[in-house]
A and B are shown apart, each in its own frame.
Chain A
Amino acid sequence: MKTIRLGLIGVGGIGQLHLKHALMLPNVEVTAVADSSKSALDRAKGFGIKNLYVNYSELLRSSDVDAVLIALPTHLHLRCTREAAEVGKHIFLEKPIAVTVDEAKEVIASAERYSVKLMIGYPMRFNQHFLKLKDDVANGLLGDVESAHATYVCSGPFVHRADGHSPSPVPDWWFNIELTGGGVLVDLGCHIINLMRMLFGEVVDIKGRFGYRYNMDFEDSAVCLARFSSGTLATIDVGWYSQEYLLRLDLLGSVRHATVEHMPPPTLHALAQMLTKGISSFNMPHYRELQYFVDCLQNDFDPFPSGLDGLRDLEVISKAYKNSLSL
């Protein structure tokens, strides 16, 4: 099997996790890392990465890279994707696909124009519990799913204290809606919308009620009501206001109900998983999505979630913003 030479662009929070997973994957060689932060590059150097770049364009010019994993701030997604496509690098792009729907279309067009593969990072699509739920829904085990409730709350970019270690600085771009494209509905909501589209088909209509607890220009909580092509009515409840992490789907069917969660395991449990499997169950979906991306490159499959998936999610979010409810 051909070894995939991977370049990582952006090794901040999520990029660093991808780097660790990429180093664990068989048939993957991380040949280069680019990041504008010197400390991020130093961390990458600590993992034995030899080719380190402050400017990602230099990484893209490297002939040692077959594919790139882009984990940059959202406003840089289009520019970086376009440059990567132009030089024929396959692309794994972190969600959300872009700041706006128009930019998302350009991202897809760039990948198509230069015939490179484009995958959008939605790790929950690789969570085995959600995948089983998909099968159960598709196989009619739940009957007609009349309603579904999705909850995803955490502290988002405002990382809370975890037993004494210091809080993380929040990069300025997070506070600028022009650079993010929105608030929590973009950041967390896109995961939920993507999952629900996997379960119930396309969104026919959506309305949203947005909360501004932190007095910023972007919403820090959102409750959306969505109707799917399957007929399911769903609530999408997302927030950055909670110190406690919760990601849960409740499905109410005419035959059975189902609840699936994605939660960090207790520390000792996670430690045991790390020692036995090298990875905790919480991060397994991230590992699997990267593994799948590499499989697609090796076997010449078109990966999913595709750019079109990312675009659809952004269109739904855009519609929810337009159909804002006041209660």
Chain B
Amino acid sequence: MSFVSLVTIPQNTNNPLQDAIVQSINLIDYSFGTGVRRVVIKPNLCYYWDCTTGQTTDPFFISSLIDVLRQRIGYDIDIAIIESDASAMRCKYAFRMLGYEKLAKEKNVRLVNLSEDSSNGIDVSCNGRNYNFLLPKTIADADLKINVAHIKYTVDPIKLTCALKNIFGCNPYQKKFKYHNDLGNVIVALNKAMPFDLTLIDCNVAAGVQPRKIGLVMASKDPVALDVVAARIAGLNPDKISYIALAEREGVGTRTYVAKGGEIEFYRALYPRITFIMKSKGRVKRVLVKVGMGRRLGLE
């Protein structure tokens, strides 16, 4: 059984995000321990969409987290913000366009493109299959690994992008679309290869079917439990998201959770959930795009 905290960002404090992060961490009884020198933070950078879309982590959230880490652990810790190139996204542009270059200068932290990091091969098995990934040195050397994810819908059969899926971006291999036919297994395998210590959810702006400010911060040591709660908030049945169950079977975490702080139902009511009609329209559009009519219909 794992703790999952849900905290509403306060309105009337000097550092609302910092306060929400601290409260969410306290609620799960998380301790940063001793001897932490190197910290990596993995935000969710998705293409070149800024944080107002709800698709990417707000650099201000990361900035607040850095302040919390320095207060709790020490001001001399080495902090690296990590991301890798993707099929359609280049880190060098995403870091700059999404405000991370500016953040790195202001907070004196490193930005690491994992696709350019030195790495060693790592073998991992998942669901009866064997995988060989590259483990970036920055991740391998870190004493503390923090995953800062979002709650987003994504394509079938994955359905949900949250804590587990965000680790997909730690795979330094750029042409990630090659994994898309085996995405569930690969996500779980990567979580086994690169287990993170703490996951935070920046759901100040939720993505959903449209962005909406819901002011939620979540925390858990267990990405599986966190994804179960996230799925419920997004109006999805976590039992129907196969890779969450697979992650539990593979020992990444447990689907049994204790929610602390806010009520799941409260945030579920705020989350811009997908409806049956929207789903149907989306399917029609996807088919039209697939058969090459997207641009001609003005969908692209």
Q: Could you tell me the distance between the alpha carbons of A216 and B96 in the complex, rounded to whole angstroms?
A: 7
Give the chain B neighbours of A36 by CB distance below 8 A: none
Expressed in whole angstroms, the minimum distance between the Cβ of B152 and any Cβ of chain A is 10
| A-B CB contact pairs (8 Å), 7 listed | A162-B289, A164-B286, A170-B88, A215-B102, A267-B284, A271-B288, A271-B297
Interface residues on A, range: 20 to 34
Q: Determine whether the beta carbon of A167 is less than 8 Å from that of B294.
A: no
Query: Which stretch (A71-79, A180-188, A275-283, A288-296) binds chain B?
Result: A275-283
Q: Determine whether the beta carbon of A170 is less than 8 Å from that of B87.
A: no
State how many residues of chain B have any CB contact under 8 Å with chain A: 35
A267 partner, pick from B89, B295, B299, beta carbons under 8 A:
B299
A270 and B297 contact, Cβ closer than 8 Å, known pairs A158-B48, A213-B50? yes
Is A140's beta carbon under 8 Å from chain B?
A: no
A280 and B297 contact, Cβ closer than 8 Å, known pairs A215-B96, A267-B288? yes
Q: Could you tell me the distance between the alpha carbons of A288 and B88 in the complex, rounded to whole angstroms?
A: 32
Is A159's beta carbon under 8 Å from chain B?
A: yes
Q: Determine whether the beta carbon of B50 is less than 8 Å from that of A243.
A: no
Q: Could you tell me the distance between the alpha carbons of A160 and B298 in the complex, rounded to whole angstroms?
A: 13
Give the chain B neighbours of A165 by CB distance below 8 A: 285-286, 289-290, 294, 300
Q: Which of B115-155 contact A (CB under 8 A)?
A: 155
A214 and B282 contact, Cβ closer than 8 Å, known pairs A158-B48, A165-B289, A165-B294? no
Q: Which of A25-51 contact B (CB under 8 A)?
A: none
Q: Could you tell me the distance between the alpha carbons of A164 and B300 in the complex, rounded to whole angstroms?
A: 11
Q: Could you tell me the distance between the alpha carbons of A100 and B206 in the complex, rounded to whole angstroms?
A: 42
CB-defined interface of A211-227 with B at 8 Å, one 1/0 digit per residue? 00111100000000000
Give the interface SS of chain B, mostly helix, strand, loop or mixed.
Answer: loop
Give the chain B neighbours of A16 by CB distance below 8 A: 295
Residue of B with least CB distance to A240: B48
Residue of A with least CB distance to B285: A163
Residue of B with least CB distance to A160: B49
CB-defined interface of A191-218 with B at 8 Å, one 1/0 digit per residue? 0000000000000000000000111100
Q: Determine whether the beta carbon of B88 is less than 8 Å from that of A167.
A: yes
Is A139's beta carbon under 8 Å from chain B?
A: no
Q: Could you tell me the distance between the alpha carbons of A243 and B289 in the complex, rounded to whole angstroms?
A: 18
Is B37's beta carbon under 8 Å from chain A?
A: no
A215 partner, pick from B55, B90, B101, B286, beta carbons under 8 A:
B101
Q: Determine whether the beta carbon of B296 is less than 8 Å from that of A163.
A: no
